[in-house]
Amino acid sequence: MRENDMRPTFKTSPPLRLSDVRRGQYATVCGFAPDFPAARQAHLMAYGLTPGAQVRVVQHSPVTVVQVENLEIALERSLAEGIRIG
């Protein structure tokens, strides 16, 4: 992230799960929970949810919606809980 970028991000004590990130905040994908199914990982990674990708949480209800670049992705709660962020 650029020095003059004013977007809210986690600088200290980041939540570990994407489901913990508040609406409107940005986070960086670090990976997936150890028990996250490999097929689901591959599917999400094909949509840009890869380690190092910056995402913005758009909403959490009724599903979690995140923006990755110019794409919005809707995720069931269990998926959002399995995505690790930093």
Instruction: Give residue-wise pLDDT tens across range 48-81.
Output: 999 999 999 999 999 999 999 999 999 999 999 9
Which pLDDT score is estimated for 7? 55
Convert the pLDDT of each residue in 8-19 to its tens digit. 554 545 558 999
pLDDT at 8: 53
Query: Is domain 18-85 classified as CATH 2.30.30.90?
Result: yes
Neighbouring-strand partners of residue 73: 66
**Domain residue ranges in the chain:** 18-85
Name the least confident of 3-7, 32-36, 78-82: 3-7
Helices (H), 1-86: 38-46, 77-82
Question: Using an 8 Å Cβ cutoff, are 59 and 41 in contact?
Answer: no
